[in-house]
């Protein structure tokens, strides 16, 4: 009997270790001011530039989808390695990473070698949602930083020209469901997009239609003014437009915009191309609270994809370079 109990306890303990690798409040004893230092840096930067909030939320997604949430997104390219940062979905579209550098510098001064870059980003993403009016979540922490960052692996990040099946597949590869993908796509309620992420919908859609028929005509007309074609028919790769009419407010208007065909990305509009996904979009369009809760739950799950814990990886001292 005692043997059985001991066995059971071991099994329970092992399985809980596997499940709860990360814990909320991880730094409470290790570096008590960590969470507040990160919050201060996010807030300070946000007051100067509202764009850093969407930037940090997206950065967390891009970090997690490539080799797990291991801070590999921050690593700079070197003469012998092209890093994630310089992969196709990143490059000039990334923003807000300097906030993590600033927080890291203060955290190294406060408690050297304790707080990982991957964790800083996970907190900063939650803070960014709170700052823009969304519902935060208890951030599970204890991630360690990876030592590998390869541009080629950014292929795992879904792209703006993909359809529902392709995007669902990309999430399935990370053990995330289509429902969770739809909830997370609501992050596009904040931020901006470069014109080149959707200009095919305005000028070059298909042999039959130069303009995407699933894009509202009035929005298309506006976007053509904001994203004009140059003499060669190309669109300036530096031009950007807001994702929607309230790009600094974390609310569910994104889903009503999809229903009205007023979203810029094909990958957003595609969310209503199956009966099941359409019904979830409708649900979120009219139930703000349900979406905020599902979004937070899905972020907690996404933030634990393939994390390094314990003695794996390292605590990078500079988020941009792996430790010597
Ligand atoms: C479902 C598949 C997704 C696709 C295809 C996609 C694609 C894109 C694209 C093309 C942009 C515009 C980037 C630019 O041109 O500057 C963008 C922006 C953004 N994405 Fe996604 N995304 C997806 C999912 C997500 C998820 C899961 C999140 C976070 C939970 C997210 C957060 C954001 C944010 C906040 C922005 C605005 C960035 C800024 O303002 O700097 N996206 N996304
Ligand atoms: C998905 O789940 C399977 C089975 O539990 C696991 O082997 C795999 O590593 C997981 N993949 C990711 C990206 O978490």
Residue 131's closest CA among 28, 54, 26?
A: 54
Residue 8's H or E segment, with its range, is helix 2-19
Is 306 close to ligand 2, i.e. is its CB under 6 Å away? yes
Evaluate whether 227 touches 199 at the Cβ level (below 8 Å).
yes
Predicted local confidence at residue 17, as pLDDT: 43
DSSP 231: T
pLDDT at 314 over 70: yes
pLDDT for the residue 5? 52
pLDDT at 21 over 70: yes
Domain-wise residue ranges, the chain: 24-157, 164-299
| Structure confidence at residue 16 (pLDDT) | 44
**Which of 87 and 12 is assigned the larger pLDDT?**
87
> Is the pLDDT at 219 greater than 80, yes or no?
yes
Please tell me the distance between residue 171's alpha carbon and the centre of ligand 2 in angstroms: 12
pLDDT in tens, 147-194: 999 999 999 999 999 999 999 999 999 999 999 999 999 999 999 999
Q: Give the Å distance between the CA of 188 and the centre of ligand 1.
A: 6
What residue numbers does the annotated binding site for substrate cover? 158
Q: What Cα–Cα distance (Å) separates residue 237 from each residue in 24, 196, 198, 230, 288?
A: 40, 6, 11, 11, 34
Q: What positions carry a catalytic annotation?
A: 62
**Which atom of ligand 2 is nearest the CA belonging to 173?**
13
Residue-level pLDDT at 18: 47
Q: Is the CB of 175 under 6 A from ligand 2?
A: yes
- Cβ of 158 less than 6 Å from ligand 1: yes
CATH class, 24-157 region: mainly alpha
Q: Are 178 and 168 in contact (CB under 8 A)?
A: yes
- pLDDT value for 9: 52
Q: Ligand 1 atom closest to Cα of 243?
A: 37
Q: What single string gives the DSSP state of each residue in 33-100?
A: THHHHHHHHHHHHHHH-TTHHHHHHHHHHHHHTTTSSSSGGGPPPBTTB--GGGSTTSGGG---HHHH
pLDDT in tens, 61-94: 999 999 999 999 999 999 999 999 999 999 999 9
Which fold would CATH assign to domain 164-299? Answer: Peroxidase; domain 2 (1.10.420)
Q: What does the alpha-carbon distance between residue 76 and residue 262 come to, in Å, rounded to a whole number?
A: 36
Across 255-272, average pLDDT: 98
- The gap between the terminal CA atoms of the chain, to the nearest Å, is 52
Which whole number is the average pLDDT over 268-293?
A: 98
Given a cut of 80, whether residue 267 has pLDDT beyond it is yes
pTM of the model: 0.94
Query: Is the C-beta atom of 71 inside 6 A of ligand 1?
Result: no
Whether pLDDT at 131 is above 50: yes
CA nearest 161: which of 240, 257, 269? 269
């Amino acid at each position: 009997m005692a043997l059985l109990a001991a066995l059971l306890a071991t099994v329970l303990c092992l399985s809980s270790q596997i499940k709860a690798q990360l814990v909320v409040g991880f730094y409470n004893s290790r570096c008590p001011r960590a969470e507040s230092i990160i919050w201060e840096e996010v807030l300070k930067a946000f007051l100067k530039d509202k764009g850093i909030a969407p930037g940090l939320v997206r950065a967390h997604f891009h970090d997690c989808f490539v080799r797990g949430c291991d801070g590999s997104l921050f690593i700079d390219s070197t003469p012998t390695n092209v890093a994630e940062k310089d992969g196709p979905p990143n490059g000039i579209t990334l923003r807000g990473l300097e906030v993590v550098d600033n927080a890291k510098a203060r955290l190294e001064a406060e408690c050297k070698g304790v707080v990982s870059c991957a964790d800083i980003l996970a907190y900063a993403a939650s803070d960014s949602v709170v700052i823009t009016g969304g519902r935060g979540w208890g951030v599970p922490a204890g991630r360690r930083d990876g030592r590998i960052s390869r541009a080629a692996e950014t292929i795992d990040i879904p792209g703006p020209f993909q359809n529902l099946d392709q995007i669902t597949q990309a999430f399935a590869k990370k053990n995330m469901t289509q429902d969770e993908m739809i909830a997370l796509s609501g992050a596009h309620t904040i931020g901006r997009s470069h014109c080149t992420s959707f200009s095919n919908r305005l000028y070059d859609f298909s042999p039959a239609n130069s303009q995407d028929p699933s894009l509202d005509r009035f929005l298309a007309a506006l976007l053509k003014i904001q994203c004009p074609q140059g003499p060669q028919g190309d669109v300036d790769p530096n031009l950007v437009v807001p994702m929607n009419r309230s790009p600094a407010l974390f609310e569910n208007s994104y889903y009503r915009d999809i229903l009205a065909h007023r979203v810029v990305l094909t990958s957003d509009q595609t969310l209503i191309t199956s009966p099941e996904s359409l019904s979830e979009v409708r649900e979120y369009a009219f139930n703000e609270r349900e979406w905020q809760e599902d979004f937070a739950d899905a972020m907690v799950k996404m933030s634990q994809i393939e994390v390094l814990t314990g003695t794996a990886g390292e605590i990078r001292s500079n988020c941009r370079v792996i430790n010597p």
